[in-house]
Chains A and B, each alone.
Chain A
């Protein structure tokens, strides 16, 4: 207990007064700072500019000078190190997640690559026979074409021999146990050798004309390609395609090292960037192998031929890791730190781009395995027949085809039962062979489909989202697309050359396309980027229309539930359409646009569905249309 005197009380009151004074002073300081200098940059009050504010201007000028001094002022090394570490910490945290995803994506791609190549190693004899039939057919067509305008003895002999070879090829037997198989294999081999001898004789003949030699050379090259497949008839161990697939499996790159987040977090941002770059390159290489295997299966070509048809550009990324490391060593001022921070942000952004691009590749590669999964329990022969049948039914020669069952099967990811075969292969006069009606899931022709063009033209509405309860019924056309092109097709509509959009949909990528034919850049390749297009009518016209060109159009459609739909594709000239990475339409004919060119009954899964269309043009004008309609609509 203490005694309080009047003096003490007065002293205490005085002390309270000081506190009031101090607090008032602080308030004044804060209000003044807020009003004049937008204190600490925390707030911005409504300061309408006054006509005369010399003091304010001077203050702002001084602030600017101060900031400029700070910007160029050299900072102590320790301070710089601390700030750099702080900045790097945030970037590393983001990059670690991305690099980890890239590692996982690589692992997934490696597994898919192995699966796809293993499928090739199980290639049945039927695949080789179909390749031989395809090549003898092409050889015969070319020999007939030459003989049409060159009616001399030599070209006539070439034509006769090629027709003979084609007939033998059609008579070849798939079953190796059949006694006719060996005999007919011998026939085709001998006939091919005779054809090659004839071509060599023309080439060695000194009296042969120049164009005769040119044609002989061309035919010899085609028969040499055929020869490669004939060797494969000796058995699976002699099949060059299988050997190449086995070689690719043996040469597989080392599995991607899965570094833990803790290990990755120890790495500086420049090393993380370099690792991400290496991972993206590796993923791209693996994906190219997967795509090559897929193409080989789709086109029934050898791996070597499929690779030649693939137009592939590896990802080009700047050496940002190196730049970042160099920049880090020279940091001295605030300005340097600001630039470093920007560079760090750009680096993180680039790694994010790599992750997004690779994720797209993984999604595509997964799409390529869907058919294999759907046919999981089938034998290699049955799988091959199913694929051949899919390709055959997708082709434009079949006007109306129901593909919904196999698409549903693929979307659901279920394998068919072993008891349900995909149909029997039987020889026909058609060359590549046809297949009898298989089980429930196989594509089949549908009859009674008639697209009333005038009615559709008058009533079709644009759309991208489809709901069962929607008030819009009947035909709907897809009006919104991202389109890219033109690439060169040299007047061929065979869809053989593969361009980047078939490998991955990257809206930010820039490609080199067809060469300019006029203007100051004549002879230079055109720079191509995806362009957003919305058409006001059923037909969609690509930008930069050129003759002898290839375009790609990409869009997505949304369904609120799993739905079967009728799909009508039409194009000037030819087109190919993928729905969720499955070819549903492949028309290689040179034709004008006609709304009822053909239709498919297809399956759209609930949610978003991807559509990629390849458009080929030979003449000057080109356009395409894609319409959908519920199959029950009359």
Chain B
């Protein structure tokens, strides 16, 4: 039997799979980028708490670290006490509601923690939390 073909139709390459592929790659990179969180972690052994509340990771949290020798860190980078006070003053002036996370070691001298918490409280930064040991996160 002779088939009747529509000779007027343009010859086209099917783009469907290519678009599929491109979209999948796009979604992958989007998801991968979203997965990447700046954690600003420093090398510490955080204290253990049974009653700590699990919080979802947030990029806008300001991380102040204090290592076991009492050294200060601002967003993961070593800083001095003068700079810490200056920066807290700036943050208090520009973003008084900013959340602050304190990353401290179990061996950190306690007066150092009080010092930073007092500085935050004095500057009017009230949303201050302390990171505790998390089995899931810290066993990475």
Contact = CB atoms under 8 A, between A and B. Distances in A.
Given A2-B10, A26-B21, A534-B118, A508 B80 contact: yes
A558 B114 contact: no
B83 A352 contact: yes
Contacts of A19: 14, 17-18, 20-21
Interface in B70-129: 77-83, 85-86, 89, 111-112, 114-115, 118, 122
- Secondary structure type dominating chain B contacts: helix
Interface string A494-538: 000000000000111000000000000000000000101010000
B7 interface: yes
A7 to B, nearest CB: 11
Shortest beta-carbon contacts, A-B, top 4:
A19-B17, A23-B21, A507-B81, A532-B115
A464 B122 contact: yes
B26 interface: no
Contact of B122 (A42, A44, A353, A558): A558
B35 A43 contact: yes
Listed residue (A5, A357, A360, A508) with the most chain B CB atoms within 10 angstroms of its CB = A508
B19 to A, nearest CB: 10
A217 interface: no
Given A16-B16, A20-B17, A558-B122, A353 B83 contact: yes
A59 interface: no
Contacts of B89: 608
A629 to B, nearest CB: 20
B5 interface: yes
Interface in A15-60: 15-16, 19-20, 22-23, 26-27, 30, 34, 42-44, 46
B18 A42 contact: no
A481 to B, nearest CB: 11
B11 interface: yes
B21 A1 contact: no
Nearest to A39: B32
Nearest to B118: A480
Contacts of A345: 77
Contacts of B3: 6
B52 interface: no
Contacts of B7: 1, 3-4
A114 interface: no
A43 B114 CA distance: 35
B9 interface: yes
* Chain B contact patch, size range: 35 or more
A429 interface: no
Given A19-B21, A30-B28, A508-B80, A42 B35 contact: yes
A76 to B, nearest CB: 30
A12 interface: yes
Nearest to B36: A42
8 contacts: A12-B11, A16-B17, A42-B33, A42-B35, A43-B35, A508-B82, A532-B115, A534-B114
B58 interface: no
Contacts of B36: 42-43
B7 to A, nearest CB: 5
A465 interface: yes
Given A15-B13, A556-B122, A356 B83 contact: yes
A8 B13 CA distance: 10
* Chain A contact patch, size range: 35 or more
B133 to A, nearest CB: 17
Given A6-B3, A16-B17, A43-B32, A349 B78 contact: yes
B21 A22 contact: yes
Given A1-B8, A8-B11, A26-B21, 17 more contacts: A3-B7, A4-B7, A5-B5, A12-B13, A16-B17, A20-B17, A22-B21, A23-B17, A23-B21, A42-B33, A43-B35, A353-B82, A356-B82, A465-B122, A507-B82, A508-B82, A532-B118
Contacts of A530: 81
Nearest to A41: B36
A44 B73 CA distance: 24
Given A5-B5, A8-B11, A23-B21, A532 B114 contact: yes
B48 interface: no
Nearest to A19: B17
Contacts of B114: 532, 534
A351 to B, nearest CB: 12
A372 to B, nearest CB: 27
A2 B11 contact: yes
A34 B35 CA distance: 12
B140 A23 contact: no
B140 to A, nearest CB: 7
Contacts of B11: 2, 4, 8, 12
A30 B115 CA distance: 47
B5 A23 contact: no
Contacts of A12: 11-14
A534 B119 CA distance: 12
B82 A532 contact: no
Contacts of A44: 35, 140
A506 B35 CA distance: 41
B50 to A, nearest CB: 22
Nearest to B114: A534
Contacts of B18: 19
Interface string B20-33: 11001100100011
B33 A532 contact: no
A44 B136 CA distance: 13
B2 to A, nearest CB: 12
Nearest to A23: B21
Contacts of B32: 34, 42-43
A508 B81 contact: yes
B89 to A, nearest CB: 8
